[in-house]
Amino acid sequence: MWKGRFKHEASDLLKSYGQSVTTDWRLYRADIRGSIAHARALAGAGILTSAEFGEIEAGLNAIGSDIASGEFAFSEDLEDVHMNIEAELTRRIGAAGAKLHTARSRNDQVALDFRLHLLGACGEIAAGLRGIQRALVGLAGRHPSAVMPGYTHLQRAQPVLFAHHLLAYVEMFARDAGRIEDCAKRMDSMPLGSGAIAGSTLVLDREAVAAGLGFSRVTANSMDAVADRDFACELLAALAILGMHVSRLSEDIILWASAEFGFIELSDRHTTGSSLMPQKKNPDIAELARGKTGRLYGNLIALLTTMKGLPLTYNRDMQEDKEGVFDSVDTVLSTLAIFSEMLAAASFREDRALAAASDPLLLATDLADRLVAGGVPFRQAHEIIGRLVARAHELGTPLDRLDPGEFLAASPLLTPAVVAANFDIASAMAARRATGAPSPENVAREIARWTARLE
């Protein structure tokens, strides 16, 4: 492609070291779409005849079919997917193929193909997020009134509904979907026509090309258009945060599936055994997802590091932009798919969770709230109940089974009737009626809202 300037062939080691087709071949659909749109613009400018455009379009579509069927042999000598397709087109149709690169550089071609490909990926990721949200809402709907302990510092804190816990992750994944959508909006800018750096003296109708490819606008600065990889960095950042959410869910599942908790039962299809210990049933999907999150972080840092010192405009360092992005997209899509399947087949052990949530200490704060309702300042109420907790611990007695005289001595408001009502778990859950709190009524409303939204 540059033989006019050079007298000698490139070193075989250079060809091997510099090739990217083993990674970027997957851009072929975007490359063919972009090339057809570019050829149409060349025809509109009178640079191609209608017959030449027809040859190019038919030739590119045929190449695309061959690639999709696995019949196309990519050559590392041609560096990348773009030159492989262009060279094959020229071999098949002759002179018309050699005209395709008119008024175009690989710089704006790569920028276009990468954006087109990732815009499609954003749609797939959004669909994957809806899938895991549906699985979470479905599991919540199968156990709408199950009570479990909520934790802070991994210590039992207050009772919550299991469904409320799951819906917290539904909210997280909704924010992830919002980030993917925002990323796609900024990605939706068509760079083709920017050339290598300063456009071309052969002026094409960029707006028409953008409309034909489904872009809402064209890039405004040719230098920024070819040098920009913000869209890839932003997508990697969104996927890293998404991975963090999956990893936190994984940690909960790993804990809940342990014998110490015993809250959740994963299906045999989504667990593994041990090569040595016949009794083992391991939550490997959750563990793998927790581990793969590190790769999502690493891919983000790698691209940010690659880009941070580059002067305008294009530098060959930027060839390193795709492998990590492709890996992160693949990792997230496969993780969302397997998690959706695993959650759909999981069941919750309501009896084990209720037994853990029935620890009366989880309702100590509710008892302080009853003092507040009687006019006691909260800090004073907190201290009163704290002393009662310490007394129960000293006596080795559950908090709700302290002698009634202990409660009355702490405060005349803590009558036997008040104490008995406080430690009724159903009443305690029903009292959590504030917006966003886990009362059965609130949670049922949220399950219905998310079910309708995800449909």
Q: 115 with 231: CB under 8 angstroms?
A: yes
Residue 130, by phi and psi: left (phi above 0), alpha (psi -120 to 50) or beta? Answer: alpha
Crossing angle for the helix pair 162-187 and 106-142, to the nearest 10 degrees: 160
Which residue among 258, 267, 274, 347 is the active-site one? 274
Q: Which residue has the tokens 């492609």?
A: 1
Cis-peptide, bond into residue 313, ω within 30° of zero: yes
Q: 63 with 85: CB under 8 angstroms?
A: yes
Q: 401 with 422: CB under 8 angstroms?
A: no
Q: Which residue has the tokens 């052969």?
A: 202
Q: How far, in Å, CA of 422 to CA of 416, rounded?
A: 10
Q: 392 in helix, strand or coil? A: helix
Strands (E) across 262-353 are located at 264-265, 347-348
Q: Which residues are bridge partners to 348 per DSSP?
A: 264
Closest by Cα among 22, 62, 124 to 331: 124
Q: Cβ atoms within 10 A of the Cβ of 22, count?
A: 11
Crossing angle for the helix pair 230-257 and 106-142, to the nearest 10 degrees: 20
Query: CB-based contacts of 80: which residues, under 8 Å, 6+ apart?
Result: 19, 20, 21, 24, 106, 110
Catalytic annotation present for 189: no
Catalytic annotation present for 16: no
Which residue among 8, 50, 69, 153 is the active-site one? 153
Closest by Cα among 330, 341, 325, 216 to 285: 341
Q: Cβ atoms within 10 A of the Cβ of 165, count?
A: 23
Q: Which residue has the tokens 């890996």?
A: 327
Task: Kindly state the tokens that stand for 193.
Answer: 């026509």
Q: Which residues are bridge partners to 218 per DSSP?
A: 190
Q: Which residue has the tokens 């017959």?
A: 51
Q: How many residues does the chain have?
A: 455
Residues catalogued as catalytic: 153, 274
